[in-house]
Structure 1
Amino acid sequence: QGHHLPASQSGTMGRRKRNIAEAKDLYDNSKESNALFEKYYTAQAMLPEAEWPVFMTAMREGLPVTFRITGFRGHSQSLLKLLRTRYLEDLLSLTDIRPPEPLPWYPSGMAYQLHTNRLAIRKINELQRLHSFLVTETETGHITRQEAVSMVPPLVLDVRSSHRVLDMCAAPGSKTGQMLELLHRGDDSEAGRSSGELPDGLIVANDVDQRRAYMMVHQLKRLQSPCFVVCAHDSSVFPRLRLEPDGPPLLFDRVLADVPCSGDGTARKNPGVWRRWKPGHANNLHLTQAKILKRGLELLAVGGRLVYSTCSLNPVENEAVVGKLLLETEGSVELVDVRPLLPGFKSLPGLSSWKVMGANGTLFEKYSDVPVGRDHAYLRPSFFDEGYKDLPMERCMRVLPHLQDTGGFFVAALEKRRHLPWMNPAKWDAAAATAAAADACAQDGRAVQAATGDDAPAGDAAAADSSGRPQSPKSKRRRFNEDPFLFMGPEHPVWRGISETFGIDSGRFPCGNVLYRCETSKKRHLYLVNDCARRLVQGNPELKTVNMGIKIFSVCDDAEYKGYRPLQEGLSLLEPFITLRRIRVPRCDLLVLLEHELPFSDRFTEATRTAWRALTLGPVVIDYRRDGEDAQQLPDVDLCLAGWRGRTTLRAYMNRHERLHLTRMCGVEDLVEIRGKTAGQGDGEGDDEDGPSDDEEAVEPPAAAAAADGNDGEAE
């Protein structure tokens, strides 16, 4: 019979090759071109001439899929091990597909790259299991699918747990989420999780488009953090904020200005770039980008760091913007080299000279070369390199697609050495000293009252222009309809009932940071934020706050239980403080809870049934503690589930994606009974009235909210 394969196996291999070829064709940009694009960038001499064909070939290829594992959710190391052993090892033997590889420059090997595009991963049969894993784990917040170059700005910002961080153009939010993870560094340790302490820092995520801000809320909610505030302002005139109504202005330790840009670095995933590219796209954005960068530097604390980034290759949007602000700040801001923070990451230095293209494709080296006419009115002196020759532009990072199979990107890190020349040094030094004293006095924050309109800060707390001057009342009173953020305290009747039911010590738990959104009707959901977020919202009633914090309790109107139940998404924060209504289960009972939506109590072990009988009907917290003597037993992490003690059942509340995540952690992801089910769908085990359904509140913008045009240049 020789060495021929059986017909069935041969057919399978043939189909696999066809699928791979078809998947590649779905993203075939090999014939895309734009004469102006090539003329403009060849003139910039941004790479050696011999590399130009390689660069252009890479620009026309589909963009690889990249993702990272969330670093602070308690399951990160276990999930990384699961990914390597159960989902990636099988792909190593494939010859038609290059196996996934960790990004060598991403810390702790927590980010991976698949050498296929986002359409192909859905088409190739051998990748279907991995694709399903990525979809589920993304929904639960344990994995984020994000372009590799998009991961760079948060890493070089070097965010710490105590930092106040402003993300000026944040939507859709993957960089914001990554910074939120960095804020929580250390929470993944046993000590970090058991203490219940929250980071002191805060992420303020802003986007001018209110609808995009709502999309960002969904992205951030997956991370289950109380340390963020989402708002909707024009970032070029972002308001000056305070942490107290009459306190000093808030200056941020870190600022990310991932500004709107022409986006020609995204051609690998956006083929339309080839057809639409014109020099005017970048030229028209230059002044807007400079305004955003200037405002970011004004809001940055002395000693703080700002990262300016775009997904554009154009020096008019990159080096020219950075150079313009370096000249204006007269040495008070320094351009720093952050390459040491990314060992193994490949980039080129920033350009020190470049040409500018007019509307008809004419290239100019100097502004004085521009003839009187359309181009003279259209181009600006700051577009050109003439004034920037002595600036250390080589400290900028230019990322080109052929260097390491990524999109195109630009990053510049700026550090503020002293107050900006147009700011009042005495005023800001006094403000910084007062802010430090206020911080020391406000750390407790437990006995708090809701902020009202009477608490509005005076003067420059309102939105200001780029020079720091307040805007006129007319310009700052844009229509913005949002429910208020109202805070509880230990004596609030709702909180008293919750603390008594679950044995929460209000002296330890920061109940002053629990908020609700309705003044008159029943408080349907309760949220938790950290001290800094509470102080920010209370100190700035005019801040256009869209959302903040994490949902921790939801009202329950069961016939036999009327009160509040803890929610799974906030349970990791609540769990260290809850002392009552808890049931501890062994692994076999945990599997019963995962396999069935409403299992009867007689399915559990006697110890679990005894604990179940000792409780009245209502919400419970279900604990699983790993066996320290059996290192091989899965799950190898402790788990805490929001549940319900029914009349005849014990159930765990979780949606389909969270259930699949936990079955994977237990090593039994192939449980047939749970596949295809959604949250709240029974499996014929218990009764439909046994506890409330686990529906989630949708994050929707108010009907009156108007969407504004915007593009943050996110390289996702």
Structure 2
Amino acid sequence: MGRRKRNIAEAKDLYDNSKESNALFEKYYTAQAMLPEAEWPVFMTAMRRAYLSHSESPVSVSLLKLLRTRYLEDLLSLTDIRPPEPLPWYPSGMAYQLHTNRLAIRKINELQRLHSFLVTETETGHITRQEAVSMVPPLVLDVRSSHRVLDMCAAPGSKTGQMLELLHRGDDSEAGRSSGELPDGLIVANDVEPAHDGRAYMMVHQLKRLHEPLLCAVFPRRSACPSPSFVAAPRWTAWRPLDRVLADVPCSGDGTARKNPGVWRRWKPGHANNLHLTQAKILKRGLELLAVGGRLVYSTCSLNPVENEAVVGKLLLETEGSVELVDVRPLLPGFKSLPGLSSWKVMGANGTLFEKYSDVPVGRDHAYLRPSFFDEGYKDLPMERCMRVLPHLQDTGGFFVAALEKRRHLPWMNPPSGTRRRPQRLLRMPALRMDAQFKRPLEMSPKSKRRRFNEDPFLFMGPEHPVWRGISETFGIDSGRFPCGNVLYRCETSKKRHLYLVNDCARRLVQGNPELKTVNMGIKIFSVCDDAEYKGYRPLQEGLSLLEPFITLRRIRVPRCDLLVLLEHELPFSDRFTEATRTAWRALTLGPVVIDYRRDGEDAQQLPDVDLCLAGWRGRTTLRAYMNRHERLHLTRMCGVEDLVEIRGKTAGQGDGEGDDEDGPSDDEEAVEPPAAAAAADGNDGEAE
């Protein structure tokens, strides 16, 4: 056996689940009759076959073209591994599926270039690696550019990032970005406070890579939650209700047995039974927040009907026809799924199966089994409109998706005239006010005052703010065109180190809810620069796509040859550039600059085939571009250049004699993520459902 085949065999053995089994699991799901008897062996084989799906979702056509033509060629020569292929049901072919596990990608030599590509593009936010079937809920949510969207249980954040991409696609996002315009919508990523949940930290890390002004990450107080596992949602009663809500709820996760082999050893019927009420509360709260005509998508990575059809059926009965279960399969042509179950059995802790609640013995041993677990009363509901995804249908994980649309106000939120009955409150949280003008701040009880968050407040600038006046004069920004009223900072007294930009909807959310714990919001656009010869602010690369249309001063345009010099060297001296670039460089004083690359006059086949704008620094003897190692690797790939050896080290200019150049400040805020965070991101090949 050759070395390559031996490596492939060893990598496959690392994820050998073929001997995993659980007698209760097989007994329970065999009794559900969710498959024809002939398909059961195929289903169980697929459940045991170790497999981890990576779905890459590039945000640009150029990056997708590069992936197809350059990084998949090596895989085509491998006869042992099925080459990556686009998911037929994902819009515009913007997602690829790898038919191998993550350890094989690292171990096989032919896949190392692809692995390096995936790591770099994931770190820069251009690609998201995710379980393929977990990409379904955001697609059927049908997000538009003007929608207010709440992701109720957002951690670890992959679905939130996907919805942000879809929100931009609601309009011509490229045209909007080039003109500096932003969609009117907003996505609020909500999860429990991260004190005891590492997934919440993962969510913040994931979302910071996206550099989005349409995103707000919030952590409601854990004290507001009925139980530690309950994911609370803010109360938005004074603003127009939400257009879309995603409730990807906590679940037992037995649909992930292929990538999480521990599920086979841990699976018990009580896991799903104990989560049923929590899931129903989350779904009910989401429906309360939803606008009439809006859509909520409920999803789990579980196969258990107690967590799926029983939860949906319970809420459909409680809403008394004000909510409709809709079939969203037409939105996913080519996607294979089974209809929801109309009948099922419930298993007790000792493995006994019950068809009806009346069959459950009276006593403490079965006190946790509730009437809502059973299919009685749900048989007349259109459960076939739900989507059940099983592993053997299209080589994915197991999943459940149900889409509900609100046709009229919920019965408990629309009391009859003449009554004073107030809407039910599942959470004791202050009402969220979304209007910019409100009469007085929220009043808090003495008890809640003791729980104030130690978070710096969000404060907004305006055209007359002294800091903004200095920035607009330096870079020639017309404050009448640029939405400077949406520029915020988080330090009231000391120097404002970073400035962020949000859209109008996010600003109203912050101004109307001073007590909301917002941990991450907007896109960073400026950072303070305290150099010996320049004191002021410099634009940051992550927000430059929005700033660039408004900046008229301190710009340098470079040809492709000079762009490659900037990418190859950390601090290149001015004499490395062309005469035209040196002339523009001499015309500027020391300080931050915007470096432009435009395709005008270039060969049509020459890479990069897109316009680029880089945040840079004009030093006394150098011209540099501010970017970390991953961003540099990304741009060299876009230029069609092989990965430069210098870039793979800690600093791109080491050994050139340029590392000691005194020009420009350090770039601490744009440094590469700490090793622990980077490793966490690298290992998050899919939702940790």
Common fold by TM > 0.5: yes
Q: Write the distance in 2 (CA, Å) between the matches of 1:218 and 1:683.
A: 33
Per-residue deviation at 1:220?
1.6
Q: Write the distance in 2 (CA, Å) between the matches of 1:706 and 1:633.
A: 35
Per-residue deviation at 1:709?
23
Q: Are the aligned partners of 1:258 and 1:712 in contact in 2 as well (CA < 8 Å)?
A: no
Q: Write the distance in 1 (CA, Å) between the matches of 2:334 and 2:28.
A: 30
Distance 1:401 1:688, change over 3 A: same
Q: Write the distance in 2 (CA, Å) between the matches of 1:276 and 1:402.
A: 22
SS of equivalent to 1:82:
helix
Q: Deviations over 1:530-568 (max 9, x none)?
A: 110010011011212111001110001110000000000
Per-residue deviation at 1:118?
1.3
Aligned: 1:83 with 2:67:
yes
Q: Are the aligned partners of 1:213 and 1:231 in contact in 2 as well (CA < 8 Å)?
A: no
Match of 2:192 in 1: 208
Distance 1:470 1:688, change over 3 A: farther
Distance 1:190 1:408, change over 3 A: closer
Name the stretch that deviates more: 328-337 or 367-376.
367-376
Per-residue deviation at 1:470?
9.2
Q: Are the aligned partners of 1:169 and 1:712 in contact in 2 as well (CA < 8 Å)?
A: no
Match of 1:192 among 144, 164, 176: 176
Per-residue deviation at 1:627?
3.6
Q: Write the distance in 1 (CA, Å) between the matches of 2:166 and 2:98.
A: 24
Per-residue deviation at 1:89?
2.3
Per-residue deviation at 1:185?
1.2
Q: Write the distance in 2 (CA, Å) between the matches of 1:652 and 1:698.
A: 13
Aligned: 1:169 with 2:153:
yes
Distance 1:681 1:414, change over 3 A: farther
Q: Write the distance in 1 (CA, Å) between the matches of 2:25 and 2:251.
A: 16
Q: Are the aligned partners of 1:214 and 1:700 in contact in 2 as well (CA < 8 Å)?
A: no
Q: Are the aligned partners of 1:311 and 1:714 in contact in 2 as well (CA < 8 Å)?
A: no
Q: Are the aligned partners of 2:205 and 2:677 in contact in 1 as well (CA < 8 Å)?
A: no
SS of equivalent to 1:378:
coil
Q: Deviations over 1:273-326 (max 9, x none)?
A: 001000000000000000000000000000000000000000000000000000
Q: Deviations over 1:387-439 (max 9, x none)?
A: 100000000000011111111100000000000001137xxxxxxxxxxxxxx
Q: Are the aligned partners of 1:263 and 1:312 in contact in 2 as well (CA < 8 Å)?
A: yes
Per-residue deviation at 1:380?
0.4
Distance 1:708 1:625, change over 3 A: closer
Q: Write the distance in 1 (CA, Å) between the matches of 2:340 and 2:613.
A: 49
Q: Are the aligned partners of 2:303 and 2:399 in contact in 1 as well (CA < 8 Å)?
A: yes
- Tell me how many residue pairs correspond in the alignment: 632
Q: Deviations over 1:486-543 (max 9, x none)?
A: 1111111000000000000000101011111111111001111111001001101121
Distance 1:263 1:683, change over 3 A: farther
Q: Are the aligned partners of 2:102 and 2:685 in contact in 1 as well (CA < 8 Å)?
A: no
Q: Write the distance in 1 (CA, Å) between the matches of 2:474 and 2:600.
A: 30
Aligned: 1:330 with 2:289:
no
Per-residue deviation at 1:479?
5.0
Q: Write the distance in 2 (CA, Å) between the matches of 1:260 and 1:663.
A: 41
Q: Are the aligned partners of 1:587 and 1:624 in contact in 2 as well (CA < 8 Å)?
A: yes
Q: Write the distance in 1 (CA, Å) between the matches of 2:520 and 2:671.
A: 12
Q: Are the aligned partners of 2:72 and 2:83 in contact in 1 as well (CA < 8 Å)?
A: yes
Q: Write the distance in 1 (CA, Å) between the matches of 2:271 and 2:365.
A: 14
Distance 1:701 1:520, change over 3 A: farther
Q: Deviations over 1:243-285 (max 9, x none)?
A: xxxxxxxxx0000000000011111111110010000000000
Per-residue deviation at 1:15?
0.7
Q: Are the aligned partners of 1:259 and 1:713 in contact in 2 as well (CA < 8 Å)?
A: no
Distance 1:377 1:552, change over 3 A: same
Q: Write the distance in 1 (CA, Å) between the matches of 2:62 and 2:585.
A: 30
Q: Write the distance in 2 (CA, Å) between the matches of 1:709 and 1:277.
A: 27
Distance 1:336 1:422, change over 3 A: same
Per-residue deviation at 1:124?
1.1
Q: Are the aligned partners of 1:623 and 1:639 in contact in 2 as well (CA < 8 Å)?
A: yes
Name the stretch that deviates more: 668-677 or 380-389.
668-677
Q: Write the distance in 2 (CA, Å) between the matches of 1:700 and 1:473.
A: 40
Distance 1:337 1:656, change over 3 A: same
Per-residue deviation at 1:378?
1.0
SS of equivalent to 2:388:
strand
Q: Are the aligned partners of 2:571 and 2:653 in contact in 1 as well (CA < 8 Å)?
A: no
Distance 1:101 1:681, change over 3 A: same
Per-residue deviation at 1:689?
1.7
Q: Are the aligned partners of 2:145 and 2:171 in contact in 1 as well (CA < 8 Å)?
A: no
Match of 1:312 among 272, 277, 302: 302
TM-score, structure 2 length as denominator?
Answer: 0.87
SS of equivalent to 2:312:
helix
Q: Are the aligned partners of 2:129 and 2:684 in contact in 1 as well (CA < 8 Å)?
A: no
Match of 1:612 in 2: 585
Per-residue deviation at 1:77?
0.7
Q: Write the distance in 1 (CA, Å) between the matches of 2:322 and 2:559.
A: 61
Q: Write the distance in 1 (CA, Å) between the matches of 2:685 and 2:127.
A: 22
Distance 1:361 1:258, change over 3 A: same
Q: Are the aligned partners of 2:527 and 2:540 in contact in 1 as well (CA < 8 Å)?
A: yes
SS of equivalent to 2:336:
coil
Q: Write the distance in 1 (CA, Å) between the matches of 2:517 and 2:644.
A: 46
Per-residue deviation at 1:673?
2.9
Q: Write the distance in 1 (CA, Å) between the matches of 2:685 and 2:314.
A: 21
Q: Are the aligned partners of 1:170 and 1:712 in contact in 2 as well (CA < 8 Å)?
A: no
Distance 1:393 1:552, change over 3 A: same
Q: Write the distance in 1 (CA, Å) between the matches of 2:136 and 2:449.
A: 34
- Unmatched segments (≥5 aa) in structure 2: 50-59, 221-241, 425-444
Name the stretch that deviates more: 597-606 or 697-706.
697-706
Per-residue deviation at 1:238?
10
Per-residue deviation at 1:190?
5.0
Q: Deviations over 1:676-716 (max 9, x none)?
A: 23479684236432101222279999999999999999456
Q: Are the aligned partners of 2:247 and 2:282 in contact in 1 as well (CA < 8 Å)?
A: yes
Match of 1:641 in 2: 614
Q: Are the aligned partners of 1:515 and 1:526 in contact in 2 as well (CA < 8 Å)?
A: yes
Distance 1:230 1:615, change over 3 A: closer
Per-residue deviation at 1:92?
1.5
Q: Are the aligned partners of 1:679 and 1:694 in contact in 2 as well (CA < 8 Å)?
A: no
Q: Are the aligned partners of 1:213 and 1:546 in contact in 2 as well (CA < 8 Å)?
A: no
Q: Write the distance in 2 (CA, Å) between the matches of 1:502 and 1:305.
A: 43
Distance 1:255 1:699, change over 3 A: farther
Q: Write the distance in 2 (CA, Å) between the matches of 1:702 and 1:595.
A: 24
Aligned: 1:230 with 2:183:
no
Distance 1:682 1:458, change over 3 A: farther
Per-residue deviation at 1:183?
1.0
SS of equivalent to 1:620:
strand
Match of 1:280 in 2: 270
Per-residue deviation at 1:370?
0.2
Q: Are the aligned partners of 1:509 and 1:577 in contact in 2 as well (CA < 8 Å)?
A: yes
Q: Are the aligned partners of 1:29 and 1:271 in contact in 2 as well (CA < 8 Å)?
A: yes
TM-score, structure 1 length as denominator?
Answer: 0.84
Distance 1:697 1:379, change over 3 A: farther
Distance 1:682 1:618, change over 3 A: farther
SS of equivalent to 2:372:
helix
Distance 1:100 1:620, change over 3 A: same
Aligned-CA RMSD value: 3.8
Per-residue deviation at 1:120?
1.2
Name the stretch that deviates more: 18-27 or 93-102.
93-102
Q: Are the aligned partners of 1:105 and 1:342 in contact in 2 as well (CA < 8 Å)?
A: yes
Match of 2:417 in 1: 458
Distance 1:183 1:374, change over 3 A: same
Q: Write the distance in 2 (CA, Å) between the matches of 1:699 and 1:364.
A: 55
Distance 1:159 1:678, change over 3 A: farther
SS of equivalent to 1:418:
coil
Q: Write the distance in 2 (CA, Å) between the matches of 1:604 and 1:698.
A: 26
Distance 1:161 1:704, change over 3 A: closer
Q: Are the aligned partners of 1:169 and 1:205 in contact in 2 as well (CA < 8 Å)?
A: yes
Q: Write the distance in 2 (CA, Å) between the matches of 1:30 and 1:321.
A: 32
Q: Are the aligned partners of 2:337 and 2:393 in contact in 1 as well (CA < 8 Å)?
A: yes
Q: Are the aligned partners of 1:283 and 1:316 in contact in 2 as well (CA < 8 Å)?
A: yes
Distance 1:14 1:585, change over 3 A: same
Distance 1:409 1:704, change over 3 A: closer
Q: Are the aligned partners of 1:649 and 1:686 in contact in 2 as well (CA < 8 Å)?
A: no
Q: Are the aligned partners of 2:539 and 2:615 in contact in 1 as well (CA < 8 Å)?
A: yes
Q: Deviations over 1:580-609 (max 9, x none)?
A: 000000000000000100000000000000
Distance 1:51 1:513, change over 3 A: same
- Among the aligned pairs, what percent are the same residue? 98
